[in-house]
Chain A
Amino acid sequence: DAGVTQSPTHLIKTRGQQVTLRCSPKSGHDTVSWYQQALGQGPQFIFQYYEEEERQRGNFPDRFSGHQFPNYSSELNVNALLLGDSALYLCASSLALYNEQFFGPGTRLTVL
């Protein structure tokens, strides 16, 4: 049973650039949530996708956008990167109406 997968594992970008992160949910799951985790902090909710629509959004600027595909996989896009966007980006999958979320290995983004 494949778990949540994310790509790439690590990424280095410069300020002002754009980045796309990818996530495939656990087999059988239909909901994908994205989180940002700064060093020493708990994950912060960015947004959640279900049925290819953004269902809920956290306190993140419009530079953060996403997409969900018919196969339930998802992308997170960040435009105009800032130094403060350096973090571990986590994707979590779940079944709609169930609250247990399972995390992928994460993508470590470094903005120089």
Chain B
Amino acid sequence: GAVVSQHPSWVICKSGTSVKIECRSLDFQATTMFWYRQFPKQSLMLMATSNEGSKATYEQGVEKDKFLINHASLTLSTLTVTSAHPEDSSFYICSAGDQGLAGGEQFFGPGTRLTVL
């Protein structure tokens, strides 16, 4: 199947700093990518839809100024957590869909663990 990568796989930062997470589709083009957040022992929560060449759309309750999304190319989307605080510590996962597959299968990245001190 198609491969989605994330970088970094884990990051530790100080409170108040910003952190950028990259999501790449390695062997297919993705006009749409998705960002999820997962707290310990909880399910994945959809945060936003990243659209190539246009603004991201955010799920209800997700602060767009806090979580900046840029989808500058068909293979790269970035999530920037601005002014991170300890409550932003979480597992962030991206996914991308290969539009050529019937039914719209999504491929998930390995995740990025963010720890804010």
A binds B: no
